[in-house]
With several copies, the nearest count.
Chain A
Amino acid sequence: MELYRVPVQIVPRPGILDPQGAAVVGALKTLGFASVVDVRIGRFLTVDVDADSAEAATLIVQRMCEKLLANPVIEDFALEAPRVQPRGKS
């Protein structure tokens, strides 16, 4: 058993209004960042799980996302590759 950290990106589904992102684009432009074209804002989670392998860790976090972490009506999610995590640290 290793401790794996699985990073999860959750983003609003395409076509879903993202008022936060729109507000941030406006703010960035006001701040002089003229080259900004779009911003979408979602959530970033790191999930630490005990698993036998990186594949197993991915699989379980995938299930967590489907079941709980993402709202399929308005969000998509993607997992990054698990990283082995030293124990006893968060």
Chain B
Amino acid sequence: MKFGIVTFPGSNGDYDAYHAAAEALGEEAVYLWHKDHDLKDSDVVILPGGFSYGDYLRAGAIARFSPIMTEVVAHAKRGAPILAICNGFQVACEAGLLPGALMRNISRRFISRVVTVRVENATSMFTHEYFAAQVLRLPIAHGDGRYIADPDVIASLEDDGRVAFRYSAPDGSIGDAYNVNGSVNSIAGILNESGNVLGLMPHPERAVDPLLGVPDGLGLFHSLLAGVAA
């Protein structure tokens, strides 16, 4: 499986995504330059974390107009997988690949720590290697992670099982105390309607190496691999 990782000016999670794919999974990985119109035959496109265009104006606002995004949108339309992590999630929302928006954390501060999230949808192409309600330990590192959307959008996300992950207590319970950035319904990650675009604030690509902590992000990548094999 070939992973294509987009490098926008200001991306910095591209390196981590690349190493997760190439080292932890041993799959083929390539960087995709934002000015190009070429996905280099990637199967999975990753919109990585970081600060594309410095997060100036609004996180993700400028990056969505990069030339490569035309191809990324087309890739999504074809039903091919797009994994949008952190800043990538913000870009995906701005680009209309996912509904809603990510706003300043409720604490108004940047938060870098390990959080626990509960798997809400364990059947998507990104998550079927997890079991339902499994609790994962994943790092977060963001200032603008508070997910919001219009009530009808939230309702359809909930009704269609498109909430992929929710911030939770270590025992899986949900509550304000664990809603680290104040997202609506503790939403940490969502899927698009056809289930081939996943946006999430936590960093699965930083949680693939036991040397650095619990490798709970691996399941996400293994889900993608298994999906193709199947």
Please determine whether A68 and B148 come into contact, CB atoms closer than 8 angstroms.
no
Number of interface residues of B (CB under 8 A): 21
Interface centre among A31, A41, A71 (most CB of B within 10 A): A71
Please determine whether A19 and B108 come into contact, CB atoms closer than 8 angstroms.
yes
Give the contacting residue for A20; candidates B56, B94, B148; CB below 8 A: B56
Whether a CB of chain A sits under 8 angstroms from the CB of B106 is: yes
Please determine whether B148 and A71 come into contact, CB atoms closer than 8 angstroms.
no
Whether a CB of chain B sits under 8 angstroms from the CB of A36 is: no
Contacts of A73 in B (CB 8 A): 93, 99-101, 148-150
Please determine whether A19 and B54 come into contact, CB atoms closer than 8 angstroms.
yes
Contacts of B61 in A (CB 8 A): 27, 68, 71
List CB contacts (< 8 Å) of B88-107 with chain A. Answer: 93-94, 99-101, 103-104, 106
Give the contacting residue for B53; candidates A16, A17, A27, A71; CB below 8 A: A27
Contacts of B100 in A (CB 8 A): 73
Whether a CB of chain A sits under 8 angstroms from the CB of B212 is: no
Query: Closest CB-CB distance, A24 to chain B, in whole Å?
Result: 6
A sample of 25 cross-chain residue pairs with beta-carbon separation below 8 angstroms, ordered by A number, consists of A19-B54, A19-B104, A20-B54, A20-B57, A20-B104, A20-B108, A23-B56, A23-B57, A24-B56, A24-B57, A24-B62, A27-B57, A27-B61, A30-B65, A41-B56, A68-B57, A68-B62, A68-B65, A71-B58, A73-B93, A73-B99, A73-B100, A73-B148, A73-B149, A73-B150
Q: Which residues of B contact A (CB under 8 A)?
A: 53-54, 56-58, 61-62, 65, 93-94, 99-101, 103-104, 106, 108, 148-150, 182
